[in-house]
Structure 1
Amino acid sequence: MTDSSASSDAGIAAIADEVFATIGTDKQITPFSARPGGLTMADARRVAPLLRERFIARGETIVGRKIGFTNRTIWPQYGVDAPNWGYMTDRTVRELAVTPVLRLGDYVEPLIEPEIVFGFVSAPQPGMDDAALLDCVGWIAHGFEIVQSIYPGWKFTPPDTAAANAMHGALLIGARHAVAPRKAEWLRELPGFDIDLICNGAVVERGTAANVLEGPVSALRYLATVLAEDPASPPIEAGDIATTGTLTKAMPVKPGETWRTVLRGVALDGIEIRFG
């Protein structure tokens, strides 16, 4: 008899199939942790390589990783106690200059997250210090990640988020800035800048770079470390993109709104997006 428990190979494949069929639709599902047998974090992590296979089979190209829940100030809100990561593809990553208006009908319970994005020119390794990590980065940008919840009301446990590709919906990237010409300045600025998140002209959230695991570069160290510990997940390579987690609380968005940011203490301009 085939083992259909959640922890069997067939059970993990069924979870991957259900998540894959739900992402990008207007449907939501019961969290796997709330179902008979539950879901452990170890089993949830087995879903990621299967999602990768399914994205590729659909014709998508993996372009990098999103790092989620790096902002410790939001952990109590979502009942999590550690970061996680998910895949980004050429279907979910866009340039703000090309997509200044995003249609929200493609996302369920969408939230906006202002983030710092890195583009790699070489592979980062576990244990690298900030200077060595930045040597692996060709460009830095400010961007918005749109996260969504395939679970109603954003109610879930940490394994549910890991199984759901870390809630990734879309990444919209602003202007890219070369690292090498001002590496020393980036090292000084990236751990300590401040940001305002503004909706329709009103500041709705404020954040700081230190919210993100003491700085966005530290989030890269986390990613390199966890990927090295997971033989089923490929490491970051040259050409990959990583977005490092929200600098403020994630905020709900609605059609008709215009959101923008103002950054202080770092050589990055604010960005703006409208929702349709």
Structure 2
Amino acid sequence: MLMSSQASRYAHQLLDARANSRLLPLISKSEQLTVEDAYDIAHCIRNVRVAQGEQPIGRKIGFSVHKSWSRYGVTDDTRTTIWAPIFDTTVRFAEDNHGLQSLAGAMQPRIEPEIVFKLGKTPAPDATLDDMADCLEWMAHGFEIVACPFANWEFTVADSIAAFGLHGTLIIGEPHVLSYGTRHHLSQILASASVSLSCNTDTSSTLRAAGFCNDEMDSPLHALWHLHQLLQKQTQFRQLQAGEIITTGTWTDAYPVEPGQTWVTAFSGVTLPGLTVSFV
């Protein structure tokens, strides 16, 4: 188990690497880094960022779609959904579902199409899946731009938790307020939905992926419920609150992005517009 001074030291190393776009050696190469240790580092990072004026406005969930595990550079046998705070400095809305995003300073950036929720009510500690759905105010489509400070996108799950949950930027499309009926069928609706992901350049247009949930247990709503359950055990962190924005994990592999590319999505099975984001 890491001492608090060690967690603080790693937190400042990660923050410095992020600020200076510098790769780091894996923490797990020099420490017996557990998932609990990694969340202690993440908590230190959060406190530093808040002290510097950033405001946590929600969470990102990672590794929630089980079929994507083998496509990441995860080098250990841990199989667990992770989370990290997101901040007012890392989240923005795309006007008319079109956005322009600079990649300056981003370390090995990749793109992930996700479903984003906003909580309209604070869930009770013992909230069920249906209770979680009833707490939702709106749903939107988003692109999370993930970034990795470790070479070749290879890391343990604990390393990824410590390294900001790999969160870089969240670009959110038009929010759709959820009706009572939609909220209470949302798990089934999302389990039957799919998204296509395409990459366009000046010279080509390529369909890169089609993503979907395996079943209701792999759905964004279940990922939200799992996060809520996990936070009941992590008393150093604030529990989910009304007003938080939660992005629930990628529906496809995470694809490398470069300046000059425009990435486009389209949904079927759910009433959400696609997103178009160009990178410079």
Category of TM-score, reference length = shorter chain? over 0.9
Aligned match of 1:238 in 237, 242, 250? Answer: 242
2:65–2:213 contact (8 Å) kept in structure 1: no
Instruction: For 2:135 and 2:199, locate their aligned partners in 1 and report how far apart those are by CA, in whole Å.
Output: 34
Q: Mind listing any 5+ residue stretches in structure 1 that lack a counterpart?
A: 1-5
Give the C-alpha shift of residue 209 in structure 1.
Answer: 2.8
Q: Deviations over 1:234-268 (max 9, x none)?
A: 11101111000000011000100000111110011
- CA 1:165–1:125 in 2, change beyond 3 Å: closer, same or farther? farther
1:140-219 equivalences in 2 (<5 Å): 140-180=139-179, 182-184=182-184, 186-200=186-200, 201-210=205-214, 213-219=217-223
Q: Counterpart in 1 of 2:131?
A: 132
Q: Counterpart in 2 of 1:55?
A: 49
Q: Counterpart in 2 of 1:96?
A: 94
TM-score by length of 1: 0.92
Instruction: For 1:8 and 1:223, locate their aligned partners in 2 and report how far apart those are by CA, in whole Å.
Output: 26
Q: Counterpart in 2 of 1:3?
A: none
Q: Tell me if 1:41 matches 2:40.
A: no
- CA 1:196–1:239 in 2, change beyond 3 Å: closer, same or farther? same
2:110–2:145 contact (8 Å) kept in structure 1: yes
1:212–1:247 contact (8 Å) kept in structure 2: no
SS for the counterpart of 2:214 is helix
SS for the counterpart of 1:76 is helix
- Provide the alpha-carbon RMSD of the alignment: 1.8
Instruction: For 1:91 and 1:231, locate their aligned partners in 2 and report how far apart those are by CA, in whole Å.
Output: 25
Give the C-alpha shift of residue 106 in structure 1.
Answer: 2.7
1:24–1:107 contact (8 Å) kept in structure 2: no
1:107–1:169 contact (8 Å) kept in structure 2: yes
Instruction: For 1:214 and 1:28, locate their aligned partners in 2 and report how far apart those are by CA, in whole Å.
Output: 32
Instruction: For 1:51 and 1:180, locate their aligned partners in 2 and report how far apart those are by CA, in whole Å.
Output: 37
TM-score by length of 2: 0.91
1:65-144 equivalences in 2 (<5 Å): 65-77=59-71, 78-79=73-74, 80-97=78-95, 100-125=99-124, 127-144=126-143
Instruction: For 2:223 and 2:10, locate their aligned partners in 1 and report how far apart those are by CA, in whole Å.
Output: 28
Task: Kindly provide the amino acid, as one letter, of the partner of residue 189 in structure 2.
Answer: E
Task: Kindly provide the amino acid, as one letter, of the partner of residue 263 in structure 2.
Answer: W
1:95–1:173 contact (8 Å) kept in structure 2: yes
- CA 1:108–1:131 in 2, change beyond 3 Å: closer, same or farther? same
Task: Kindly provide the amino acid, as one letter, of the partner of residue 93 in structure 2.
Answer: E
Count of equivalent residues? 270
Task: Kindly provide the amino acid, as one letter, of the partner of residue 232 in structure 1.
Answer: Q
Give the C-alpha shift of residue 189 in structure 1.
Answer: 1.2
